């Protein structure tokens, strides 16, 4: 029997990266065979894919070059090499950009994650691994263990539970609440085939102008939609194109700044230095990315709030750059006047049988100057929201009922301690639970891209291994005493 029983709920990138790190660390540290049993609960067949890397549309590409993504976050080109070796390039030559970098379809990355996980679990004597293909419905604490109820009514028990349920579904954008339930409103663009029913001459409103907007434009154009498209966000900012080479540059240790404005000033100064050396601004952002958890940790809550309110939209379009294939396509569709990017807000909407009327107020104008536009489809491209995570995610809702989790004070995820344990409503760390992935962002800052998620996954794997080693030591001591 295993000494430590672990359940991981969710089987997206975060869960797979955590499991791979645990396997890797257990092997490196010579952990005794059979120390862990790890059951990963995920209804999808492909592990490591989750929402992002299950995308079926081949136009939905990773937004950084393949050399910069892998399961471990160690900067190696494992995924790039794997992609070239498997022959995926021949199947989709468009993944090769002009500079030779690969931007494969996101599903290819999902396949890579699954392959690496299967390889390592098959060869690990330390961890007995099982994929439970179900949805978990609730987690209950009992004595010093946890019971996880599954959709088929059965339950599993564990010493530790790692919660990796990923992105909550996107919220309804303000002003569009009346569209809930309308079959002309596409609330979740990440659902497979979400825009498949859009007709060739439908006029489409894309609410949100970030990376998801680019994906939707690619899907709609590929399926032959030639109707007029409008992409709308409050500022009308779109992601910058991915720079072909990136080399971290600058002295960006901003973790001693307690104010956002100090970090901003220092960043601008580093960008000026970069320009002086004929380097792009993206090299400075790359350096900041490597330190963003420390920078976030240094800001008091009021400054974090200030960043979210005023700077995040600008940060996001520079930080989350578009794959060059998507960037070129969006620009081409704009140039052909089939797509306009607008800055403004929605002040009203009325669903009808065959269309949706939307009142849009251009940025900077009063509400009376709003104009009514008519679309056949409205697509929500505003992205995930963590505002109601303890209500919308059934696992966190069940834990909130037991007062074992609470929202962070920014209401973008869960309140966690420095070891990624949730903090209970009484303010105590719940040490049998770990939270990894986007739900940690209120406490850790930007845990969005694969490298940052992998870093958090590795840290949690180290703490879980520590817990297993301690328990192992206890049992050996108990045997010696008896």
Ligand X SMILES: Cc1cc2nc3c(=O)[nH]c(=O)nc-3n(C[C@H](O)[C@H](O)[C@H](O)COP(=O)(O)OP(=O)(O)OC[C@H]3O[C@@H](n4cnc5c(N)ncnc54)[C@H](O)[C@@H]3O)c2cc1C
Which residues here bind ligand X, judged by CB under 6 A?
Answer: 9-15, 41-44, 50-52, 62-64, 69, 106, 135-136, 164-167, 190, 394-395, 437-438, 448-450, 453
The residue (of 251 and 401) whose beta carbon lies closer to ligand X is 401
Degrees to nearest 5, angle at CA 468 with 137 and 160: 15
In whole angstroms, the minimum distance from the beta carbon of 456 to ligand X comes to 9
To 5 degrees, how large is the angle CA 445–CA 280–CA 208?
Answer: 50
- Give min distance, CB of 353 to ligand X, in A: 31
Name the nearest CA neighbour of 339 among 397, 381, 303, 391: 381
Euclidean distance between CA atoms 109 and 80, whole angstroms: 10
Separation CA 247–CA 282 (nearest Å): 8
Angle, in degrees to the nearest 10, between helices 324-335 and 211-222: 70
**Which residue matches tokens 């989350």?**
320
Q: Between the CA of residue 53 and those of 44, 190, 249, 395, 423, what are the distances in Å? A: 11, 10, 30, 22, 30
How many CB atoms lie under 10 A from the CB of residue 222? 12
Whole-number Å distance between alpha carbons of 215 and 96:
18
Task: Kindly tell me which of 82 and 190 has the beta carbon lying closer to ligand X.
Answer: 190
Minimum CB distance to ligand X, residue 26 (Å): 21
Nearer to ligand X, 20 or 69 (CB): 69
**Residue whose CB is less far from ligand X, 351 or 438:** 438
Using the minimum distance from each CB to ligand X, give the nearer residue, 15 or 194: 15
Q: Please return the burial class of 45, using the count of CB atoms within 10 Å of its CB with bins 0-12, 13-18 and 19+.
A: exposed
CB of 106 to ligand X, least distance (A): 6
As measured in angstroms, the least distance from the Cβ of 358 to ligand X is 24
Nearer to ligand X, 35 or 101 (CB): 101
Least distance in angstroms from the C-beta of 268 to ligand X: 26
Least distance in Å: CB of 320 to ligand X?
Answer: 8
Residue with tokens 């100057």: 369
Tell me whether residue 39 or residue 350 sits nearer to ligand X (CB atom).
39
Which stretches does DSSP call E strand in 217-259?
229-233
Smallest separation, CB 21 to ligand X (Å): 13
The minimum distance between CB 225 and ligand X, in angstroms, equals 20
246 burial via Cβ count (<10 Å: 0-12, 13-18, 19+) = buried
- Specify the residue, 343 or 397, whose C-beta has the smaller distance to ligand X: 397
Q: Which residues pair with 139 in a beta bridge?
A: 148
Q: CA 462, CA 366: separation in Å to the nearest integer? A: 54
> Which residue, 31 or 51, is less far from ligand X as judged by CB?
51
Interatomic CA distance for residues 40 and 6, integer angstroms: 8
Separation CA 127–CA 117 (nearest Å): 12
């Amino acid at each position: 029997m295993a000494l430590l029983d672990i359940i991981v709920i969710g089987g997206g990138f975060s869960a797979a990266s955590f499991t791979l790190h645990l396997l890797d660390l257990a092997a490196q540290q010579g952990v005794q065979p059979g120390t862990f049993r790890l059951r990963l609960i995920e209804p999808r067949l492909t592990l490591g894919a989750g929402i992002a890397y299950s995308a079926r549309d081949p136009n939905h590409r990773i937004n950084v070059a393949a050399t910069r993504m892998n399961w471990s976050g160690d900067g190696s080109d494992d995924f790039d090499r794997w992609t070239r070796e498997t022959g995926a390039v021949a199947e989709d030559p468009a993944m090769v950009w002009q500079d030779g970098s690969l931007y494969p379809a996101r599903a290819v990355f999902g396949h890579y994650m699954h392959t690496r996980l299967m390889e390592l679990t098959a060869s690990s004597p330390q961890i007995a691994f099982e994929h439970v293909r179900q949805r978990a419905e609730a987690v209950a604490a009992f004595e010093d263990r946890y019971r996880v109820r599954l959709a088929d009514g059965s339950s599993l028990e564990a010493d530790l539970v790692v919660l990796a349920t990923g992105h909550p579904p996107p919220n309804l954008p303000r002003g569009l609440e009346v569209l809930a339930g309308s079959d002309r409103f596409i609330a979740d663009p990440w659902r497979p085939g979400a825009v498949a029913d859009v007709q060739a001459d439908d006029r489409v409103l894309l609410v949100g102008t970030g990376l998801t907007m680019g994906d939707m434009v690619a899907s709609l154009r590929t399926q032959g939609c030639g109707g007029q498209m409008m992409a709308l966000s409050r500022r009308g900012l779109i992601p910058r194109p991915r720079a072909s080479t990136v080399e971290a540059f600058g002295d960006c240790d901003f973790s001693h700044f307690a104010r956002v404005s100090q970090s901003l000033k220092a960043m601008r100064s580093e960008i000026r230095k970069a320009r002086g050396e004929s380097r792009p601004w993206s090299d400075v952002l790359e350096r900041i990315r490597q330190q963003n958890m420390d920078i976030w940790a240094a800001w008091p809550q009021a400054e974090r709030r200030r960043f979210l309110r005023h700077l995040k939209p600008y940060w996001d379009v520079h930080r989350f750059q578009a794959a060059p294939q998507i960037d070129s396509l969006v620009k081409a569709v704009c140039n052909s006047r089939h797509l306009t990017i607008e800055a403004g807000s929605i002040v009203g909407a009325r669903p009808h049988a065959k269309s949706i009327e939307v009142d849009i107020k251009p940025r900077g104008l009063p509400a009376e100057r709003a104009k009514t536009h008519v679309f056949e489809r409205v697509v929500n491209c505003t992205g995930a929201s963590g505002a109601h995570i303890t209500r919308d995610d059934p696992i966190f809702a069940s834990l909130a009922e037991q007062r074992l989790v609470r929202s962070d004070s920014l209401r973008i995820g869960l309140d966690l301690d420095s070891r990624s344990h949730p903090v209970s409503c009484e303010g105590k760390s719940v040490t049998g639970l770990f939270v990894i992935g986007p739900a940690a962002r209120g406490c850790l800052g930007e845990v969005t891209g694969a490298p940052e998620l992998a870093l958090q996954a590795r840290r949690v794997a180290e703490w879980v291994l520590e817990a297993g080693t301690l328990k192992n030591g206890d049992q050996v001591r108990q045997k010696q005493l008896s």
